[in-house]
Amino acid sequence: MSRMLPVVSLALLCLMATSAARADERDHSHYRERGEYKEKFRSGRCEVEREQKRDGEYKEERKCKGGPRGYEQKQKYREGPCLVEREWKNNGEYEEKVECKHS
């Protein structure tokens, strides 16, 4: 019995660490309905919304606060079938929008 105590303790520590990491990453609400998917969750300082439709269209919006101040820039470009728009604001906020359409 005394030989199993370190093994059981290690297993419990691994499970606790895994569940803590998941809780931090995935505090979200979502729904699935006939091939469609939508979720909202927080990832660090960011709020993330993802949506996938039955026709293959995918959207993701990420809004973050608390970034470096005094920096302002906008980007807009295509990455494969996706349009990506990024904006850094002077007050430390960051936004990213990704829209993908499959033909």
The pTM is what?
A: 0.63
Over residues 25-57, the pLDDT tens digits come to: 444 455 556 678 899 999 999 999 999 998 889
Query: What is the per-residue pLDDT for 29?
Result: 52
Question: Residue 94: what residue type?
Answer: Y
Percent of residues, the chain, with pLDDT higher than 70: 66
On average, the pLDDT of the chain sits at: 76
Q: Is the pLDDT of residue 96 over 50?
A: yes
Query: What is the per-residue pLDDT for 1?
Result: 45
Q: Is the pLDDT of residue 78 over 50?
A: yes
Dihedral angle at the C-alpha atoms of 78, 84, 85, 87, nearest 10 degrees?
A: -110
